[in-house]
Amino acid sequence: MDILSKNTQFFTELEAVLQKFGHGSIDFTIIAHQGKVVGVEGHQFQKLKFGKKGNVAATAKILELIKEAYEKKKDGTLNFSVKMKKGNIEEVVFQKHLVLKY
C-alpha cells in the first residue's frame, strides 16, 4: 500500500483547506505511525483589515470563526488581536492552533 492510499482522508482535507484559505500562512506538523497520518497540528495566521467602520464586520467574523470551530467540533485554540483607532476596529489578526486526530 503506497503513502497516498494510506492517507486519503488527510490529503483530501489538506486540499480543501488550501482551496478555502485565501491568504496568510499555515504551518502544520504531521504526526505519523507506520507510514499513516494519525494526527495533524496546525497553526494558521491571518490578518484582516476592516476600515473605519469595521466594528460590526470584525465582530461578525470573530463570532463566525468561533461558531465554525464549535460546529465542526475542533480541538485547539483560537486567538484574536484587535487593532483599534478612536474606538473603531481597523484590523484583526486571527491565529488558530488546531489539532486533528485520525
* Number of helices and strands in the chain (H, E): 3, 4
Does the pLDDT at position 1 exceed 70? no
Mean pLDDT in the chain? 88
Tens digit of each residue's pLDDT (9 = 90 or more) over 66-78: 999 999 888 999 9
Gap between the Cα atoms of 43 and 93, Å rounded: 13
Tens digit of each residue's pLDDT (9 = 90 or more) over 31-90: 999 888 898 898 888 899 998 778 999 999 999 999 999 998 889 999 999 999 999 999
Comparing 25 with 47, which gets the higher pLDDT? 47
The residues pairing with 77 across neighbouring beta strands, listed in sequence order, are 97
Q: Domain tally for the chain?
A: 1
Residue 24 is classified by DSSP as S
Output the nine-digit C-alpha cell for 28: 502544520
Gap between the Cα atoms of 14 and 26, Å rounded: 11
pLDDT in the model for residue 27: 87
Q: Which domain holds residue 79?
A: 3-101
